[in-house]
Amino acid sequence: MKMVPVPEQAYGNLFEGDCYIILNVSNSTTQSTDIHYWIGNTSSQDEQGAAAIYVTQLDEYLGGSPVQHREVQGCESAKFKSYFKNGLIYKKGGVGSGFTHVESNMYNMQRLLHVKGTKHVTAREVEVSWSSFNVGDIFLLDLGKALIQWNGPQSNRQEKLKVIEKNEDIRDRERGGRAQIGVIEGGQEEAFPELMKIIISVLGQRTGHLKESIPDDKPDQNQTSIVKLYHVSDASGQLLVQEVATSPLTQDLLSSSDCYILDQGGSSVMVWKGKAASDEERRSGFIKAKNYPSNTKVEVMSEGGESAMFKHLFKSWKEKGQIQGLGKTHSVGKIAKVDQVKFDVMELHAQPKLAAQERMVDDASGHIQVWRIENLELKEVNPSTYGQFYGGDCYLVLYTYNRANKPQYILYMWQGRHATQDEVTACAYQAVNLDNKYNGAPTQVRVVMGKEPRHFLYDFLLFIDILIVRGTHEMNTKATEVPTRASSLNTNDVFLLKTHQNVFLWYGKGCSGDEREMGKAVADLLSEQDKQVVMEGQEPAAFWVALGGKAPYASDKRLEKEVAPHEPRLFECSNQTGRFLVTEVADFTQDDLDEDDVMLLDTWEEIFLWIGNSANQYETQESYSSAVEYLKTHPAGRDPGTPVSTVKQAYEPPTFTGWFNAWDAHKWSVSQTG
């Protein structure tokens, strides 16, 4: 019943009769710490109880900041699996029965492993017999000095490659490089006589047909839009668990003096412990009370140490000490002092992560072409009117810029708020035609009026009669048309009113000096006429006449906008069952982008759909509607106007690559030519 360190060469080998504790300290900027305790299918209740106690002690020793995860054999979380890039091997028995034996006899063993999975491989020890085989999976006969991989006739390419990586890992990490690897293609055994001779010497001649394959587990992250929050309290002397809210949740529902349980429809349960909560509250037996299966995923976290997944389930999340205000505070690295600084585009190239966070591919000095959808066809827009977008129309904007002396393209599809469905459809259709003209190289970005990404805003400003100007520097300023009437005014903002005779710049009492400066800059861009500055409360009669007379307008104290510090998340997409399913890839790297798949990268402010070169055609065609469905069903009640960008393999812009550590720009070109 003691905690015993596992030697590094045995990482990923788990005995079914044991329990394990895994401590992971992330090297990311967030410096998050996770403790997982893993329960083998045949482990004893005593071992499971001991593991739970050790996890609590370890958590307390580390100041209560780690997130705790309960893992059950065969139902491990994506985060747990991500630590073992070459997969897991489930071994029969326990440490007492087999561990030392395996260590001393690793070159003289005989075991058969049944291997499953493409993203995360798991291998389970099965009976060393032909009766264990089936036509759809991969089996590995491990004889110590020889590893023979048998590929079922119906197994796919990705699975075969993953198992070869697993074999190489066993050879190099466990066998010191002293083992031979062989591969047999099931159904073509006659082409591998030497390897078959070894297999037959162990298993005997095969008689009869092989079994049909066992279907792979469906992705378990079927997005549940309904999330429930329960309050756990012992204030009355009895432990009470009460439902307090359903999604979308807000952070102010959590009180430091209590514990809360967040239930994702039984697919996972998260326990949040307030700093001042009692120990009794922290030990609520929620899963038993709800009759959920014993393998339900459980995460336990303390206030201040919330996981990215937990924060993603809230409409907004504000960290302690986080600055508030309109626009985003630009900071590089860890925040010590927060300054509102001018954005330096050279930093985008020096720091890819910054390019991604600021959603800028360059300084917007590239070449622009604009088309309007007219009678469902493309009509080129006169450059003298660039920047004028009418709310009843749709536009295509092709932006061309250079990176490493090669042209790169972004194709924006701008949808006016009052455009017809036919125009929106024609816009998407014409975008495909234009995309084909450039051999699929452009990154496609859907832009909804009023939700324009920062790079697009920097290219254009909207010219109409009355505009509200919001922003504190040129990189986040937006001018948006509002109805030409007094009720559109707001005491916290800057407005620009353009009439035939005058250009009025109206400053509300609640706007800042920076906002006034940006209002003036926008006014200078829109008109060469002299501007008449109007302070709220000192309006001339001509101002009210232009607005059709005085009327009440919003004069409340400014509601400051929170910028949610959400970490990016990567998902593998699947629509094969008729339902949109996403499976999360934890601690992702570029290697997790699989050319057979469509992947969804959620950076909160933007959604990227990455299309692999060999992705299933149906999923590629459906990927956009899948992304819209993802936003619609997201438990945090996400904004349906969030920009969605489609990125093709080998044509990734820096706004995408910056979310990946150590992006290799040549990875795809090597694999395509090699």
Residue with tokens 């070169």: 613
DSSP string computed for 49-75: HHHHHHHHHHHHHTTT-SEEEEEETT-
Tell me the per-residue pLDDT of 519-531, one tens digit each, with 9 for 90 and over. Answer: 888 888 777 788 8
- Whether 499 is covered by a domain: the verdict is yes
Clarify whether residues 288 and 149 are in a common domain: no
Clarify whether residues 367 and 448 are in a common domain: yes
Nearest-CA neighbor of 160 among 128, 130, 115? 115
Give the CATH number, domain containing residue 274. Answer: 3.40.20.10
pLDDT of residue 185: 92
- Whether 383 is covered by a domain: the verdict is yes
Q: Which domain holds residue 171?
A: 8-45+78-203
Give the residue ranges of DSSP H helices in 332-484.
346-350, 352-358, 421-437, 454-459
- Whether 2 is covered by a domain: the verdict is no
Tell me the per-residue pLDDT of 197-225, one tens digit each, with 9 for 90 and over. Answer: 998 998 888 888 888 876 655 444 445 56
Number of Cβ atoms within 10 Å of the Cβ of 163: 28
Nearest-CA neighbor of 485 among 546, 417, 536? 546
Q: Give the β-pairing of 367-374 and 394-403.
A: antiparallel
Task: Return left, alpha or beta for 537; rule: phi > 0 is left, psi -120 to 50 is alpha, else beta.
Answer: left
- Whether 518 is covered by a domain: the verdict is yes
Which residues of the chain are modeled with pLDDT < 50?
97-104, 218-222, 281-284, 321-350, 461-464, 557-564, 671, 673-674
pLDDT of residue 557: 45
Exposed/middle/buried for residue 62 (C-beta within 10 Å: 0-12, 13-18, 19+): middle
- For the entire predicted model, the pTM comes to 0.49
Nearest-CA neighbor of 553 among 614, 518, 516, 509? 509
Domain boundary among the residues 286, 312, 338 is at 312
Clarify whether residues 413 and 394 are in a common domain: yes
pLDDT of residue 100: 39
Long-range pairs of 29-33 with CB within 8 A, sequence gap ≥ 24: 29/333, 29/334, 30/308, 30/567, 32/67, 32/305, 32/307, 32/308, 33/62, 33/65, 33/66, 33/67, 33/305
- Whether 216 is covered by a domain: the verdict is no
Clarify whether residues 386 and 404 are in a common domain: yes
Residue environment code for 423-458, b if the CB has 16+ CB neighbours within 10 A, otherwise e = bbebbbebbeebbeeeebebbbbbbbbebbbbbbbb
pLDDT of residue 335: 25
- Whether 664 is covered by a domain: the verdict is no
Q: Give the β-pairing of 268-273 and 297-302.
A: parallel
- Whether 671 is covered by a domain: the verdict is no
Clarify whether residues 261 and 284 are in a common domain: yes
Clarify whether residues 355 and 446 are in a common domain: yes
Diameter of the chain by CA atoms? 101
Clarify whether residues 156 and 16 are in a common domain: yes
Domain boundary among the residues 439, 458, 477 is at 458
Which helix H or strand E contains 524, and what residues bound it? Answer: helix 513-526
pLDDT of residue 506: 93
Clarify whether residues 397 and 308 are in a common domain: no
Clarify whether residues 183 and 124 are in a common domain: yes
CA dist 373 and 356 (Å) reads: 30
Clarify whether residues 137 and 165 are in a common domain: yes
CB 447 within 8 A of CB 417: no
pLDDT of residue 610: 93
CA distances from 643 to 358, 448, 470, 611 (A): 14, 7, 19, 17
Clarify whether residues 454 and 485 are in a common domain: no
- Whether 665 is covered by a domain: the verdict is no
- % residues pLDDT > 70 (the chain): 76
pLDDT of residue 16: 87
Domain count along the chain: 5
Four-point Cα dihedral 174, 176, 182, 185, nearest 10: 30
DSSP string computed for 566-625: PPPEEEEEE-TTSS-EEEEETT--GGG--TTSEEEEE-SS-EEEEE-TT--HHHHHHHHH
pLDDT of residue 609: 92
Domain boundary among the residues 516, 547, 578 is at 547
Clarify whether residues 133 and 18 are in a common domain: yes
